[in-house]
Structure 1
Amino acid sequence: MSKKFSLTCISDIALGKDLRGKVEIVGKKAGMTVLNPVSFFLAGVSILFLVAFQINESVSLTWFFLSEAIAFLLIPLLARQGFEKAAKMLLIAYADIGIVILSAVFGGDAMIQAFFIPAMGLSILMFDNTQVYLRNIGILLSILSYFILDYIIFERISMSESGFSLVRWAVLTGSFVTSWLIFNTFSQFKESAEQQTLELLQKEQELNQELSKKQDKLETYINQLEVATEELAKSTKAKSEFLATMSHEIRTPMNAILGMTHLLKQDSPRKDQVEPINILDFSGRTLLSLIDDVLDFSKIEAGKIEFENIEFELNKLISVIMESFKATASNKGIELKNEIEEGIPNVLIGDPARLTQILNNLVSNALKFTEEGQVKVEVSTVGDYDDAVRLKFSIMDTGIGIEEERVDSIFESFTQASQNTKRLFGGTGLGLTISKQLAELQGGNISVESEEGEGSTFMIELTFDKATSTTEVEEHTKKEADTHTITGLKVLLAEDNVVNQKVMIRFLERWNIEMEVVNNGEEALEALKESNFDVILMDLQMPKMDGYEASEQIRKLDDPYKRNTPIIALTAAALKEVRERVYAAGMNDFVTKPFNPVDLEQKLFNYADR
């Protein structure tokens, strides 16, 4: 609030001096705010005139202004003693008398009588609307003083008696009426402004209090949100750790189940054994697919899904997918075929693992919901650019189809084509959701055309970069053609799970590979110190010394041959963090459990020649 001196203090009154500090309330003490400074000011003016008339040797006027100065100095003291109204009336009376005396001394030319207007204003400023009668008395005193002054001035003017009376009464009447109306109107306006100011300031206080309460609530909500966010982060971390642990724990025995099933299928089983082995293989792969779906769905929700950008052969990828579903299709009597449009580059750059996952989901669904007829995979070109190509993968089946009203909802989480689908065919209902999200996250899309009872066609569009060089792929192809490349390879297997040891031994023996088995990282390190190996298959989670530490120790050996021995990690945790840690520990590659025999054989091919 402004602290500047104001003669009339109108600004302080209008704004409600010290209202926010609750020192003064508008209207109640406003008159005192005017009385004090005006009294002291008029006392100072009286002293100035006292000095002037003393010098001029005017004894009567000197004593008059001395008495005026003393009166103006005593008026505030009188008001403080509780005689506030009397003090205000005395201030107005002494001001009016002073104006009359000065006007009489200096005459009409000095226009001293003009000060009667602010004298009337004092009455309005010092008396509020509850003291209207005192205000009017104060104004009346100023007007009466003006009448007295009028006689003094006008008697000095030479006019006829009738003309003098007419002018005098006209001027006085007009002055009285005008002054009365002006000052009363101003008084009402002032009081209204005071009241509105008071109301506004009260509202401001109420709004400030309400704002303060809301700020307190907001701070409380923010604190609660921070706590909830922290709890959510802990919950998310716990969920991720739980899924990773469950994935590892389930994948480890699944490695043995699928591995042994694969070996049994290659051992020329009897006719009565074929069906149970196929059922075992199908059930194992279905269970593994469900685990992968839940894990991928969790990673996509958490925004942790990432994509590779590596070279791969399209023909080989499609061939592997067809081969993996060949037995399932044969058992159901369904024709499984594929067609790749001519002119499509064979070597592309993208994420072959995610493309395989999408196609596996769709081909698996097609076979699941088809009892007769065929399932066909077609690959065609949508757009061919200088350094990229956009392909459309169409998976067509002659199965049960999808109800028209449910076509738009089948890509939603945990949703299947009909209410009976889950009961009849099983599944989590996540496969299509994950496929759609994986396609869209790579800048592609997925759509479906279906007619109930006539089959379905799922179409995926994805863009891949064209490979600039096919040398490495051609070398791999050439090496794969030589099936004797890994014959005689000497492999060190570090695996603590006895069942998985037996599964791995059976596979390696079939490939004519010489091998040594150890139970932990310490034993692997000692075995390598005593003998040379072409490749090390290293499990990651083992007692005494895990695969990470063992690999780090191997990379520190003095013997350069032993130090540079290729290490392939065997992991049941299919997470990006695990892969990064594998490479950081000095390992060359990894195979995910349950391992695909073709994939493992390919890895051994890659590191057979050093």
Structure 2
Amino acid sequence: MSARFSLTGISDIALGKDLRDDTEIEHSRKGMSVLNSVSFFLAGVSVLFLIAFQINESVSLTWFFLSIALAFLLIPILARQGFEKTSKMMLIAYIDIGILVLSAVFGDEALIQAFFIPAMGLSILLFDNNHVYLRNIGISLSVISFVILDYIIFERVAIDATGYSWIRWSVLTCSFVTTWIIFNTFSEYREDAEYQTLELLEKEQELNRELSYNQQKMEEYIAQLEVTSEELEKSTKAKSEFLATMSHEIRTPMNAILGMTHLLKQDDPRPDQLEPINILDFSGKTLLSLIDDVLDFSKIEAGKIEFESIEFELDKLIDVIAESFSTTAENKGIELKVVIGDEIPNNLIGDPARLTQILNNLISNALKFTEEGEVLLAVKSIDNMEDRIELLFEVTDTGIGIEEHRIESIFESFTQASQDTKRLFGGTGLGLTISKQLVELQGGSLNVESSKGEGSSFFVELVFGKGIGKEKAKVDSNKIDTAEALKGFRILLAEDNLVNQKVMQRFLQRWEVVLTIVEDGEKAVEEMKRNNHDLILMDLQMPNMDGFDATAHIRKLDDPYKRNVPIIALTAAALKEVREKVYATGMNDYVTKPFNPAEMEQKLVNIAAMRP
């Protein structure tokens, strides 16, 4: 038991603190809130009686109410020390004693003995079905106290008044039985709800174990890829096809997991459901991040990585990154700061997706290994030329730091600073490896400065072109009511996976669209020939006819409206060659599975806003 027992614990309880060690805190806190509420309420009532009897000196009971008030205040503190069962029994005993004393003072005419009924109900509330014997002891104490009060203290039961006695005991028996049934029913409902919550948590834990097992199997597979790296050149084509299949097969079920989790979070879950849903969402996104790291690592090793050169806005990119980590930083009590130099142009030309991936990896590591202090992302100009600019991205943290002799090894594949780090923080050790290679493949550099226990600083140097800052005419979906914009919008969904059909159907129903679902590309073409639709969501890999062939057939229809209908590709293959083929086939846009609901919503609203 804890050695911190003291009267100062009252303030800790008022602040919601627990005085016990972590190992002493039980998972189940049934009856604790009832114990605290009743104890403090009765302490206040005792003080009022103390004042009343102090004023009226006809009966000297101030000593009793002073002692019982202190007892009621000390009971919650004793419970916080780990003596929960003892505290609950003491509370019931003190209540019974108080009723006895007050009944003896005021006589049976005041009917104070009726409070034994809620005292019995309190025993049921304080003890769950795992402690039935304690519950029965508490009820028995109240019954015995009533018998003592009625037959010994009052001594007014007339044995010959049979009718009066029968009526009196019948009423009391009904009261006891009714109270017993009500409180037992309430207790059973409460325990059933808690049991269902435990079942949900157990299912979530099982899912986490499965995710961990999948991660282990994935790491084992990567190890096998390293062993066969000498044959990589001969198997480039086969490996590229494998990556596309792997991406599709893994991302397809992940689309269902993350999509349904998003819907559950929006369905106003109960507080006891919210934590398991958040854990499921976090685990799913963690697994997706692991999959992306594995795919990127494999593409780099196979020489299949490619970079874009497009214009983007630096401030928006940094804002999105900072916003995505704000909740993590807030939960850990860490300040996340961003500083961008005034001399840096906002419109740059480069690969924003890869820059985001690099900075995400660095900031994620900084937050992971920092328990207090801050994480700073600073963007500075190194060399400002006429049409280009060399930038320095510095990510600094106040975390655990890295030992000097291990600094170089952290950029090696599947390597972390130490085995303790891997056990404490997890991860595959691919993030920094991928980041360094992505930076160097773009002609930049990634370096680190760190000392054990004093934090780390990572420095990324990259060259970008200067953009011209053209104004892009696009619909601001934030200013449009989604339900109003999409109401009655006719959408044809071509998707062979039944689970993904359900996920997409749940999302689109919220926006009141008119949805038609077909299972393959051939049926999508036939549906377009029969009916008009405002938009097609086209899966790429389907039986009978895939999304590419279906799009080619639709683009050749005689009806100009049907021939030019907007088509958005739904692809689980996050590869550049797939995206290029999407546009080459005649599709208007694409969404990668697992899709981002906000991104999907914006694309649909933009297209709906342009319809006649």
TM-score by length of 1: 0.58
Relative distance call for 1:371 and 1:539 in structure 2 (3 A) is same
- Contact persistence 2:256–2:594 (CA under 8 A): yes
Structure 2 alignment gaps of length 5 or more:
1-227
Counterpart Cα distance in 2 of 1:492 and 1:486: 17
How far is 1:375 from its partner?
A: 2.8
Residue aligning to 2:360: 360
Structure 1 pair 382–597 and aligned structure 2 pair: CA distance change class (3 A)? farther
Match for residue 476 of structure 1 among 474, 477, 482: 474
Q: CA deviation at 1:314?
A: 1.9
Query: Displacement, 1:232?
Result: 5.2
Task: Give unpaired runs (5+ residues) of structure 1.
Answer: 1-227
2:330 and 2:315 map into 1 onto residues whose CA distance is 22
Cα separation, 2, equivalents of 1:427 and 1:343: 37
What's the offset of the Cα at 1:597?
2.1
**In 2, distance between residues paired with 1:318 and 1:514?**
37
Alignment-derived partner of residue 284 in structure 2:
284
In the alignment, what sits opposite 1:297?
297
Counterpart of 2:441, as a letter, is L
Gap change, CA 1:545 and 1:579, over 3 Å in 2: same
Q: What displacement does 1:390 show?
A: 2.3
Match of 2:516 in 1: 516
The alpha carbon displacement at 1:300 in A equals 1.2
Is 1:388 matched up with 2:393?
no
Residues 232 and 302, structure 2, Cα contact 8 Å, conserved in 1: no
Q: Which amino acid aligns with 2:583?
A: Y
With 529-538 and 581-590 compared, the bigger mean Cα shift is at: 529-538
Q: Against the structure 1 CA distance between its residues 280 and 322, is the aligned structure 2 distance closer, same or farther, given a 3 Å change threshold?
A: farther
Q: Secondary structure at the match of 2:595?
A: coil
Residue 313 (structure 1) aligns with? 313
Match of residue 98 from structure 1: none
| AA in 1 matched with 2:368 | K
Q: 1:480 offset after TM fit, Å?
A: 5.1
Q: Which residue of 1 aligns with 2:376?
A: 376
Instruction: Give the superposition deviation at 1:468.
Output: 1.9
Does 477-486 or 327-336 show the bigger shift?
477-486
Asked if the contact 1:486–1:513 (Cα under 8 Å) also holds between the matched residues in 2, the reply is no
Question: 1:432: how far off?
Answer: 0.6
Q: Which residue of 1 aligns with 2:570?
A: 570
Residues 451/594 of structure 1: CA separation in 2 closer, same or farther (3 Å cut): same
SS at match of 1:577: helix
Per the alignment, residue 398 of structure 1 pairs with 398
Q: Within 5 A, what are the aligned runs for 1:56-75? A: none
Deviation at 1:571, TM superposition (A): 0.8
Q: Is the 8 A contact 1:392 1:461 kept in 2?
A: yes
The answer for the alignment partner of 1:451 in structure 2 is 451
Q: Does 1:270 align with 2:282?
A: no
Question: Is the CA contact 2:570–2:593 (under 8 Å) kept in the aligned structure 1?
Answer: yes
CA deviation digits over 1:471-505, x for unaligned, max 9?
22xx2374554455843343222111122122222
* CA distance in 2: counterparts of 1:229 and 1:325, whole angstroms: 36
Structure 2 Cα separation of the partners of residues 268 and 491 of structure 1: 27
Q: 1:239 to 1:375 in 2, by over 3 A?
A: same
Matches of 2:268 and 2:450 in 1, distance apart?
40
CA distance change for structure 1 residues 326 and 552 in 2, over 3 Å: closer, same or farther?
same
Q: CA deviation at 1:553?
A: 0.6
Return closer, same or farther for 1:347/1:490 CA change in 2, 3 Å cut-off: farther
The equivalent residue for 2:341 is: 341
- Cα deviation, residue 271, structure 1: 2.7
Larger radius of gyration: 1
Q: Which residue of 2 aligns with 1:554?
A: 554
What whole-Å deviation, never above 9, does each CA across 1:495-539 have from its counterpart, x for those lacking one? Answer: 111221222223333444443222221222223223333322111
Answer yes or no: is 1:328 the counterpart of 2:328.
yes
CA contact (8 A) 2:475 2:606 kept: no
8 Å contact kept, 2:477–2:602: no
Say if 1:238 and 1:601 are closer, same or farther in 2 by CA, change over 3 A: same
In 1: Cα distance, 2:361 partner to 2:606 partner: 28
Alpha carbons of structure 1 residues 412 and 331: separation in structure 2 relative to 1, 3 Å: same
Q: 1:338 to 1:276 in 2, by over 3 A?
A: farther
Q: Which amino acid aligns with 2:532?
A: N
Whole-angstrom CA distance in 2 between matches of 1:417 and 1:525: 55
The alignment partner of 1:471 has SS state of coil
Alpha-carbon separation, structure 2, partners of 1:375 and 1:506: 39
| Offset, 1:351 | 1.0
- 1:128-151 Cα deviation digits (max 9, x unpaired): xxxxxxxxxxxxxxxxxxxxxxxx
Check whether the contact 2:486–2:605 (CA below 8 A) recurs between aligned residues: no
CA distances 1:351-399 after superposition (whole Å, capped 9, x unpaired): 1111111112112212222233333323232232222222222222222
Separation in structure 1 between the aligned mates of residue 602 and residue 390 of structure 2, nearest angstrom: 28
Match of 1:94 in 2: none
Work out whether residues 382 and 392 of structure 1, in 8 Å CA contact, stay in contact via their aligned partners in 2.
Answer: yes
Measure the CA separation in 2 of the matches of 1:504 and 1:379: 40
Contact 2:372 2:399 in 1 (8 A): yes
Deviations 1:542-567, CA, capped at 9 Å, x for gaps: 12221111111111111112111121
* Aligned AA (1:370): T
CA 1:555/1:435 → structure 2, altered by over 3 Å: closer, same or farther?
same
SS of the residue 1:464 aligns to: strand
Alignment of 1:145-184 (within 5 A): none
1:455 to 1:602, Cα distance in 2 relative to 1, 3 A: farther
**What is the deviation of 1:334?**
3.2
Contact 2:366 2:399 in 1 (8 A): yes
- 2:501 aligns with 501
Q: Does 1:528 align with 2:538?
A: no
- AA in 2 matched with 1:353: A
Alpha-carbon distance in structure 1 between the residues aligned to 2:386 and 2:477: 30
CA contact (8 A) 2:439 2:445 kept: yes
| Structure 2 letter corresponding to 1:431 | G
Q: Give the drift of 1:446.
A: 1.3
Task: Tell me the matched-pair count.
Answer: 381
2:587 is the alignment partner of 1:587: yes
Give the SS at the match of 1:316. helix
Counterpart position of 1:487:
486
Corresponding letter in the other structure for 2:491:
V
Asked if the contact 1:480–1:605 (Cα under 8 Å) also holds between the matched residues in 2, the reply is no
Give the equivalent residue in structure 2 for 1:9: none
Structure 1 residues 441 and 503, CA gap change in structure 2 (3 angstroms):
same
Please give the secondary structure, in 1, of the residue aligned with 2:407: helix
Per the TM alignment, residue 305 of structure 1 is displaced from its structure 2 partner at its CA by: 0.9
* Counterparts of 2:366 and 2:603, CA distance in 1: 31
Partner of residue 351, structure 1: 351
How far apart are the structure 2 equivalents of 1:491 and 1:319? 33
Contact 2:344/2:381, CA 8 A, preserved across alignment: yes
Please give the alpha-carbon distance, in whole angstroms, between the structure 1 residues aligned to 2:274 and 2:555. Answer: 46
One-letter amino acid matched to 1:501: Q
Q: Which residue of 1 aligns with 2:257?
A: 257
Deviation at 1:230, TM superposition (A): 11
CA contact (8 A) 2:521 2:542 kept: yes
- Are the aligned partners of 2:297 and 2:430 in contact in 1 as well (CA < 8 Å)? yes
